[in-house]
Amino acid sequence: MAAAQGRLSEDADGMDGREGNAADDAVPLPFRTAVDALRAARLRPEIEIDPAPAPKRLAPHAYALEAAVVEDDQDLADGRLVLLHDPAGHDAWQGTFRLVTLVRAELEPEMAADPLLPEVCWSWLTGALQGRGLSYGEPSGTVTRASSHYFGGLGTRQPNSQIEIRASWTPREGLGGVPDSAAHLAAWCDLLCQVAGLPPTGTADASVVSLPQRRGPQTH
């Protein structure tokens, strides 16, 4: 496995996603500590991860990552994870930190037609967090299925289906008011790999079902 730090781009913006703020003393220590943990996290080798521009209006401080599950030069799934921090706290979060995510993957048509798919995908998120022994609160989100059918000049293309998970949750804070951001990142990567159809690491659980792998038309 490679550390996330070693796979982050060298030209990333400041620690809170705003240029020039990486060494700003105004950035709270708990947020800086949480971001450092994200950058040092060790992830599965199939995960390729890079920093991304962070939203500037959701919280006083934010840090974003984009990741893809890549195997044989094919992107099997991709996603975005944003760490938000408001030192004053947020009533809706019930805490000072919040994690927000988007995960996407293509589906086989028969999988997209499964009426239980949204519930199963949501259980993958909560199961990934619980599987890492993480404490969290106020989870919310949506699971969306989308299908595209092509006509006219595009009629030779095969129909395309995609699953999209949008979610957010509050990581419980530990010593110094800092959540275990590295463990939450690892759990998020577990979800990303499961959506991509990769088997779980370690001892396999027969109750865990992953999406069948689908090789997309785009190479990494």
For residues 121-127, average pLDDT: 94
Residue 220 has pLDDT above 50, yes or no: no
The pLDDT of residue 117:
84
Each residue of 14-36: pLDDT tens digit? Answer: 444 443 334 456 899 999 999 99
Residue among 186, 211, 199, 181 nearest 31 (CA): 181
Name the token pair of 181: 């951001």
Residue 1 has pLDDT above 50, yes or no: no
Residue 112 has pLDDT above 80, yes or no: no
As a whole number of angstroms, the distance between CA 34 and CA 177 comes to 10
Tokens 């289906």 belong to residue: 161
For residues 60-65, average pLDDT: 96
For residues 75-87, average pLDDT: 95
Contact 102, 80 (CB under 8 A): yes
Residue among 133, 126, 146 nearest 208 (CA): 126
Each residue of 190-212: pLDDT tens digit? Answer: 999 999 988 877 533 434 444 54
At residue 35, the 3 state secondary structure works out as: helix
Q: What is the mean pLDDT of the chain?
A: 81
CA 186 to chain centre: 9
As a whole number of angstroms, the distance between CA 90 and CA 118 comes to 28
**Residue that wins the pLDDT comparison between 33 and 116:** 33
As a whole number of angstroms, the distance between CA 169 and CA 196 comes to 22
The pLDDT of residue 25:
60
Per cent of the chain over pLDDT 90 is: 54
Each residue of 30-62: pLDDT tens digit? Answer: 999 999 999 999 899 999 999 999 998 999 999
The pLDDT of residue 24:
54
The pLDDT of residue 207:
41
For residues 55-73, average pLDDT: 93
The pLDDT of residue 63:
97
Each residue of 126-166: pLDDT tens digit? Answer: 999 999 999 999 999 999 988 787 888 888 888 788 899 99
Residue 5 has pLDDT above 80, yes or no: no
